[in-house]
Amino acid sequence: MRVVALVRLSLPAALAPVCGSVWRRGSGYATMAKSKFEYVRDFEVQDTCLKNCWVVVRVDGRNFHRFAEQHKFIKPNDDRALQLMNRCAQNVMEELDTICMSYGQSDEYSFVFHKNSNWYKRRASKFMTHVVSQFASSYVFYWKEFFPTQPILYPPGFDGRVVLYPSDQNLKDYLSWRQTDCHINNLYNTVFWTLVQKGELTPAKAEERLRGTVSAEKNEILFSEFSINYNNEPELYRKGSVLIWVKVIRPHRSGKRTQVRQERNTASAECATSTTSA
Ligand X SMILES: Nc1nc2c(ncn2[C@@H]2O[C@H](COP(=O)(O)OP(=O)(O)OP(=O)(O)O)[C@@H](O)[C@H]2O)c(=O)[nH]1
> Which residue among 12, 60, 117, 207 contacts ligand X (CB under 6 A)?
60
From residue 93 to residue 112, the character string flagging contacts with ligand X as x (rule: CB under 6 A) and all else as - is -------------xx-----
Least separation, in Å, of the C-beta of 278 and ligand X?
19
What span, in angstroms and rounded, lies between the C-alpha atoms of 107 and 228?
Answer: 25
Residue 64 binding ligand X, by CB under 6 A: yes
Out of Mg ion, ligand X, none, what residue 209 binds, judged by CB under 5 to 8 A for its kind, is none
Query: Min. distance of Cβ 64 from Mg ion in angstroms?
Result: 4
Q: Does 198 bind ligand X (CB under 6 A)?
A: no
What x-and-dash track marks residues 32-71 binding Mg ion by CB under 5 A?
----------------------------xx--x-------
Side chain identity, residue 162: V
Interaction between residue 146 and Mg ion (CB under 5 A)? no
d(CA 229, CA 195): 15
183 is an interface residue for ligand X by CB under 6 A: no
Out of 82, 93, 101, 278, point to the residue binding ligand X (CB under 6 A): 82
Binding site for Mg ion (CB under 5 A): 60-61, 64, 107
